[in-house]
Structure 1
Amino acid sequence: MVWFVLLVFAVAGMIKGTLGLGLPAVSMGLLTLVISPFQAAALLVVPSMITNFWQLFAEGRVLQLIRRFWLLLAGIIAGSTWSIFPALGQSSFHSEALLGTMLALYGIYGLFAGNMPDLSHHEKWLSPIVGYLGGALIVATGVVVIPVVPYLQSLHLKRDDLVQSLGLAFTVSTICLAIFLQQNPVENMPMDYRMSLIALIPALVGMWLGTRIRYRISEQKFRRVFFIGLVMLGSYMLLQQLSRF
């Protein structure tokens, strides 16, 4: 089991290093094949937090982005506190089915998203709504992807601002997830901080390898394979849960 966890985080880190995204989605998707969503989310906390901090503080302008996206961040906090979805640990069926749906939708979005419409003119009222849904889904699935990532991309930010904005949203989401997991423990499933810290090592090694791979292969082809893999993994998880219903 330990070696499987280390391998998953190494692969997820490599994908994040190559594409700049994918660590939580890949980790949760693969880990929940052998352990519960609650346990998988607990293992994800430290690697996700450190890599998100890395992504957030790689450049300046953090305070400016906080001032711009405070409504989005407030929505994430509200959604993680008062989620409309079954939370991790409350229902394994619902958590895994939601996670599978999220991964499949994320993969489909990545494969077919073209030029995103510019939603920046509607940012003030969309940000809290998108943030709430993202926060509600992270405590239900352990992953914040839909709708936060497409929304931030639709604002047509500069490349560096987009990367930092994603890092900001992911960081706040991971903090909310960690607080939720600590305050809502599941019987016989304690928070394994030691294993989560150990998982950080292969994740960082994987990120380093991913940055090396980025310059040796076609990013477009790698991205396509990655999103196809997410669609297949998410669909498998969803169908597996439906077959048990």
Structure 2
Amino acid sequence: MYRSRERTLYMAAPEFTILLLAAGITLFAGVVKGAVGFAMPMILISGLASIMPAQEALVALILPTLLTNVVQALRQGARAACVSVRDYWRMIATLVVFVLLTAQAVPMIPQALLLGALGLPIVAFALSQLLGHQFRFHAARRGLAEVLTGMVGGIYGGLSGVWGPPTIALLVSLRAEKRESVRVQGVVYTIGSVALLVGHASSGVITSGRLSLSGLLVAPALAGLWLGFAIQDRLDAQRFRRWTLVVLAITGLNLIRRALT
């Protein structure tokens, strides 16, 4: 009953209002990505799924994340990006396979279960970071660590477009240098976004209307990204990151609330 009323309210809301709210969320997500280098998909899926059905939110984030990831991946040039593909091919290949497989299950997952599956890892990641805990893999056997990272990232990536936490965990475990870490994330997320687009093109989740909304959100995403780049050296990155995590935790909890009610 509650979900039906919520859906009715969403459908009754003026289209321009939904678009304006979605653009604002996307702009903020772009600023965060430009300033601290992560969390854009988590902000988008948690924020957009709070104002529209989860499947529509999932499609809406695909094009903004894809294009901003391309910018991030190529900031040091195409040759450096190709080196990252070569160095992390096991993780990338595994992630692509599991994104394509998991995406096919999205239309069969009940809305409440999907909301819970989105909210729980977001809250877990945000709270663990706020408490000072860093997810890590034991990377003594790098090949196995990459495959496990790709599996975990691919499963959640196919469901939500979020593959950042396990990727970051692997890079931290390998003690990747900052510029390399940012570049590798951009490369992995770009290829993952392409796989997500292909996977949901065959799953039936993507429709012309949903993809049109995703296209409209590209401009605020890129504007936010460049704004984040511009203010990166002028703000207290730690404080900004902390408040971003607080926002993530709150929006993740709201997704869990919607799943339970």
> How high is the TM-score relative to the length of structure 1?
0.89
Matches within 5 A, 1:133-212: 133-186=152-205, 190=208, 192-212=210-230
Q: Match of 1:14?
A: 31
Aligned mates of 1:45, 1:162 — CA distance in 2: 22
| 109, 114, 126: which one aligns with 2:145 | 126
Name the counterpart of 1:92: 111
Task: Give the Cα–Cα distance (whole angstroms) in 1 for the partners of residues 151 and 103 of structure 2.
Answer: 10
Task: Describe how 1:34-45 pairs up with structure 2 within 5 A.
Answer: 34-45=51-62
Show the 5 A alignment for 1:55-134.
Answer: 55-60=72-77, 61-83=80-102, 86-87=105-106, 90-113=109-132, 119-134=138-153
The alignment status of 1:229 with 2:252, answered yes or no, reads: no
The answer to whether the Cα contact below 8 Å between 2:136 and 2:169 also exists between their aligned partners in 1 is no
User: What corresponds to 1:31 in structure 2?
Assistant: 48
Counterpart-to-counterpart distance in 2, 1:204 and 1:81? 26
Preserved contact between residue 118 and residue 156 of structure 1 (Cα < 8 Å) = no
Q: What SS is found at the alignment partner of 1:143? A: coil
Question: Offset of 1:85 from its aligned partner?
Answer: 9.8
Aligned-partner SS, 1:136: helix
Superposition deviation, residue 116 in structure 1: 7.0
Does the 8 A contact of 2:103 with 2:196 survive in 1? Answer: no
Which AA in structure 1 matches 2:99? S
Q: 1:19 to 1:155 in 2, by over 3 A?
A: same
Would the alpha carbon gap of residues 115 and 148 (structure 1) be closer, same or farther in structure 2, given more than 3 Å must change?
closer
Gaps of 5+ in 1: none
Matches of 1:90 and 1:179, distance apart in 2: 19
The answer to whether the 8 Å contact 2:66/2:194 transfers is yes
TM-superposed CA distance for 1:107, in Å, is 0.7
Q: Which runs of 5+ in 2 are unaligned?
A: 1-17
Superposition deviation, residue 186 in structure 1: 4.0
Tell whether 2:236 aligns with 1:218.
yes
Q: Are 1:89 and 1:186, in contact at CA under 8 Å, matched by a contact in 2?
A: no
Cα drift, residue 142 of structure 1: 2.4
Q: CA deviation at 1:139?
A: 1.3
Identify the residue that residue 10 of structure 2 maps to in structure 1. Answer: none
* 8 Å CA contact retained: 1:85, 1:140: no
Deviations 1:81-121 (A, max 9, x none): 33399525632112111111121122123223467768442
SS in 2 for 1:82: helix
SS in 1 for 2:38: coil
**Structure 1 residues 35, 114: closer, same or farther in 2, change over 3 A?**
closer
Contact 2:32 2:228 in 1 (8 A): yes
TM-score, length-normalised on structure 2? 0.84
Deviations 1:176-230 (A, max 9, x none): 111111101149x545333222211111111222223333321111111111221
Give the aligned residue type for 1:106.
Answer: F
CA contact (8 A) 1:86 1:95 kept: no
Amino acid at match of 2:124: L
Distance 2:195 2:238 in 1: 33
Q: 1:122 to 1:113 in 2, by over 3 A?
A: farther
